[in-house]
């Protein structure tokens, strides 16, 4: 199944698997509530657009060091 984005690339940039869907959901909400992207408004695929933005690096975690403090060493 083709998703339109590479989840492994996103995980390489973010590093925390539970943070990725939170960032995607928050960005998708912004896309939905603004007139920022007319093309996205037509397709209504906000989450995929948010994931693509994370993959491209246009959407990112602003305070990565705060996330590093909650990272565990469990394997």
Which tens digits make up the pLDDT trace of 18-66? 888 988 999 999 988 886 556 555 666 888 999 999 899 887 777 766 6
Say which DSSP state 73 is in: -
What does the pLDDT read at residue 61?
75
What does the pLDDT read at residue 57?
86
Nearest to 43 by CA among 32, 33, 51: 32
- For the whole prediction, is pTM greater than 0.85? no
CA 63/CA 20 separation, integer angstroms = 14
Spell out the domain ranges in the chain.
Answer: 16-59
């Amino acid at each position: 199944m083709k998703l339109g984005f590479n989840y492994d690339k996103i995980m390489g940039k973010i590093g925390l698997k539970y943070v990725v869907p939170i960032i995607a959901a928050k960005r998708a909400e912004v896309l939905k509530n603004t007139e920022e992207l007319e093309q996205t408004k037509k397709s209504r695929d906000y989450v995929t657009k948010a994931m693509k933005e994370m993959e491209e690096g246009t959407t990112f975690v602003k305070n990565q060091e705060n996330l590093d403090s909650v990272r565990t060493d469990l394997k």
